A and B are shown apart, each in its own frame.
Chain A
């Protein structure tokens, strides 16, 4: 009897298995998108006819857009702000936002595996993701479009275009926030901001060095018990304050020391400034001078504190978004309130002229690519080409024509209209200007011209960005892609491990109770990194740096 049951059970199970195999085979086709499509599409550049398409805005254009960053989330295209509303209503462009759900790599993988790539992706070049898109022919070469449309080709310097060329000789991306040797108005978006009201009430003490900062924070803590003296102590900004052109981007992911003298990348532990910076963060934390929740609070909580004026000093890694919003919100309620930007602080004994934590780059921040899923790649390119021009960049910062301005001066800077002069700060803040998926250096040019028009009425963030732009000395392009490592390689696996070690020890160093504990944790930190292939990473980064310098002729 038992035997009989077993046999039948076995038959039943085999049937289930066979059934599921058949079903999975059916679904197999859709699960395996790569091969067929590659073969049929081939390598050819999409056809470009000589005929001009109708200008942007004359015919409806619809495409989906995805930003490959964890923090990127839909901002409500066409609903929240004056710019996208105008693009949707007046320019007939419908832009579908795809969010990364807080984990860009995972989202990207899902979209590739299910063959549901969006029409346009903004991502870092030189990453495995970018290279795989090129290799598997999932994105459209843009060479012919660049030749056909006027703006981007004119704005991008020829040597920058060469740097952007993929190994197969095509250019696949449109750079964002790129520069040019013709750009006279460098901007930078990293800085220190100080609560205007508190600073004035405390008699504007000298605030130039880290010692001044320490004294000031102590004073704030004493006089204003409900105010958080400093929020988010950005280690990158403190590190840059040790001069010698210390470049703060080298602290990203896994910190390294970029030695400009020996032209080599070295262990961060050979740089005394790194330990001093860590000691300073620890001291500020232990004495209650920086936000005690900075490791556990969310970005929204931090922004809320800033926007309500409960912060005395903050290092802001985005003056244009965080600083501008907080300043405008506070100023709308009370003209004397808000935040002021101050020059980069530095350590005692350091020549302030050598403090330049932020670099500039002609390659820009990232690249925007058009995938082969896009139905009308040329028209999408046409939009971005238009957007990069003075016309598009003007709309981004100052809104569509007819709201705040109707005409513009010879430099392209808009001239305030009557309506704009009577609008309150709050009404202006509600326009939520600033949507900009592809910044070009026209943005800098218009911003600077606008400041010249009327220095007193210029936008806070433009003035701040131009101010920090003057400190910029290092060319970031030479470091292009030094930290982009294939996560499946041996180095990539080690790199992921090192990133976790950095995260762990960043926190442990902040929480060390005294100097002895700090020293021992610091030593453990060095040992842990060294045991996880830190030296291989340094060798790799030195190699990429060298190759980039050769390419650029530095």
Chain B
């Protein structure tokens, strides 16, 4: 512990003369900067260089000719998308699903983290934590397989249970009824991700200064009072940052989850409620080799997402003083 403190002090001492902006600043702390370099190179290599491919949104990309030689077509693919009869349906589903996710799935891990924090028995707490975050590591293909066999008409355990309890007299085809799709999708997503997402919040809670709790106790606060008056306000900055990020992803309503739960789009009864921007790009763009169209729709989505992100960030900054930048 003591060593740790001295190290920190050393760094602080060392930093002062080396600070400064621009190239001179970088040269002065070359040893520290060189540690950033590998990450920096990776970022450029995998996030920036492939970005030039975005120009195929404005071209009629021919895989044999390559990006350079394909002819320019301007906003043709954007127009195609805006004029397509599926536009309304796709946008509606995207917004419904992501709003539902924002309202129901976003707060769930926060609640889980708060509840976990109140558990006194350490072993039990760890068990719950492990049990809830394990599903995160199962791929969606397997999760949807589990959902299918749980809800299947012929051999599904849910139908079997309800029949034995006398609640229904004929098995229900859960997976082919559009009205149940959102519930199934959201439940599966929540089950899969709740534990893993709560780790961040648990870490934030662990970082709260214990003296705050002690002070609250002296003031006579009970456990619930402490939760609302100490824990929540202390993790609020983290919550706000994640909220901003999820708002920025509003048009990314999901892809693998929807694709696998609709049996790769084979289950036609669900198209009307399940087709979202990403599955549409996959089905109409990539599967039909219309790469330019797929890129145009993807680019449109990214632009809207950036606008939403900036807007959410600005609002958060004005209102609460918390923001990403």
Measured CB to CB, the residues of A under 8 A from B are 4-5, 8, 16, 19-21, 23-24, 27-28, 31-35, 102-103, 105-106, 108-109, 112-113, 128, 132, 135-136, 138, 228, 291-293, 295-298, 487-488, 492-493, 496-497, 500, 503-508, 511, 531-532
A23 x B49 contact (CB < 8 A)? yes
- Rank and list the top 7 A-B pairs by shortest CB-CB distance, nearest first: A32-B66, A507-B268, A292-B153, A504-B268, A503-B268, A487-B288, A136-B64
Partner of B271, one of A23, A297, A503: A503
Docked pose: A27 CA to B64 CA in angstroms: 17
| A291: chain B residues within 8 A (beta carbon) | 154
Partner of B148, one of A5, A31, A138, A296: A296
Interface centre among A4, A23, A138, A293 (most CB of B within 10 A): A293
A487 x B176 contact (CB < 8 A)? no
Taking the closest CB of chain B, its distance from the CB of A17, in whole angstroms, is: 8
| B288: chain A residues within 8 A (beta carbon) | 105, 487, 492, 496
Taking the closest CB of chain A, its distance from the CB of B297, in whole angstroms, is: 13
A487 x B48 contact (CB < 8 A)? no
Taking the closest CB of chain B, its distance from the CB of A54, in whole angstroms, is: 35
B21 x A5 contact (CB < 8 A)? yes
A295 x B263 contact (CB < 8 A)? yes
Q: B252-285 CB contact bits vs A (8 Å, 1 = yes)? A: 0000000000011111110110000000000110
A34 x B154 contact (CB < 8 A)? no
B80 within 8 A of A: yes
B63 x A4 contact (CB < 8 A)? no
B265 x A503 contact (CB < 8 A)? yes
B210 within 8 A of A: no
B289 x A105 contact (CB < 8 A)? yes
B241 within 8 A of A: no
Docked pose: A506 CA to B267 CA in angstroms: 9
Other A-B contacts than A113-B66, A497-B84, 16 sampled, CB-CB below 8 A, are A20-B44, A20-B48, A20-B51, A24-B49, A34-B69, A35-B65, A105-B289, A136-B64, A295-B267, A296-B148, A296-B152, A297-B148, A488-B289, A508-B268, A511-B176, A532-B85
A505 x B63 contact (CB < 8 A)? no
Pairs A–B under 8 Å by Cβ, sample size 29: A16-B44, A20-B48, A23-B44, A23-B45, A24-B49, A32-B67, A34-B66, A35-B66, A35-B69, A105-B286, A105-B287, A109-B286, A109-B289, A113-B63, A291-B154, A292-B173, A295-B267, A487-B290, A488-B60, A488-B289, A488-B290, A492-B288, A493-B290, A497-B86, A500-B283, A503-B265, A503-B271, A504-B272, A508-B269
| B49: chain A residues within 8 A (beta carbon) | 20, 23-24, 27
Sorting the interface of chain B by its residue count into under 10, 10 to 19, 20 to 34 or 35 or more gives 35 or more
B263 x A296 contact (CB < 8 A)? yes
| B60: chain A residues within 8 A (beta carbon) | 488
| B263: chain A residues within 8 A (beta carbon) | 295-296, 298
B268 x A33 contact (CB < 8 A)? no
| A8: chain B residues within 8 A (beta carbon) | 21-22
Give how many A-B residue pairs fall within 8 Å (CB-CB): 124
B63 x A112 contact (CB < 8 A)? yes
| A19: chain B residues within 8 A (beta carbon) | 44
| A503: chain B residues within 8 A (beta carbon) | 265-266, 268, 271
| B153: chain A residues within 8 A (beta carbon) | 292-293
Taking the closest CB of chain A, its distance from the CB of B70, in whole angstroms, is: 10
Docked pose: A487 CA to B62 CA in angstroms: 12
B64 x A507 contact (CB < 8 A)? no
| A297: chain B residues within 8 A (beta carbon) | 148, 152
Docked pose: A297 CA to B151 CA in angstroms: 11
A506 x B268 contact (CB < 8 A)? yes
B268 x A505 contact (CB < 8 A)? yes
B140 within 8 A of A: no
A109 x B63 contact (CB < 8 A)? yes
Docked pose: A312 CA to B54 CA in angstroms: 54
User: Taking CB as reference atom, which chain B residue is nearest A490?
Assistant: B80
Taking the closest CB of chain A, its distance from the CB of B129, in whole angstroms, is: 33
| A298: chain B residues within 8 A (beta carbon) | 263
| B201: chain A residues within 8 A (beta carbon) | none
| B175: chain A residues within 8 A (beta carbon) | 296
B154 x A228 contact (CB < 8 A)? yes
Docked pose: A336 CA to B44 CA in angstroms: 67
Q: A112-B64, A228-B154 are in contact. Are A4 and B268 (CB under 8 A)?
A: no
B291 within 8 A of A: yes
User: Taking CB as reference atom, which chain A residue is nearest B261?
Assistant: A296
B68 within 8 A of A: yes
B325 within 8 A of A: no
B65 x A34 contact (CB < 8 A)? yes
| B80: chain A residues within 8 A (beta carbon) | 493
Docked pose: A28 CA to B53 CA in angstroms: 11
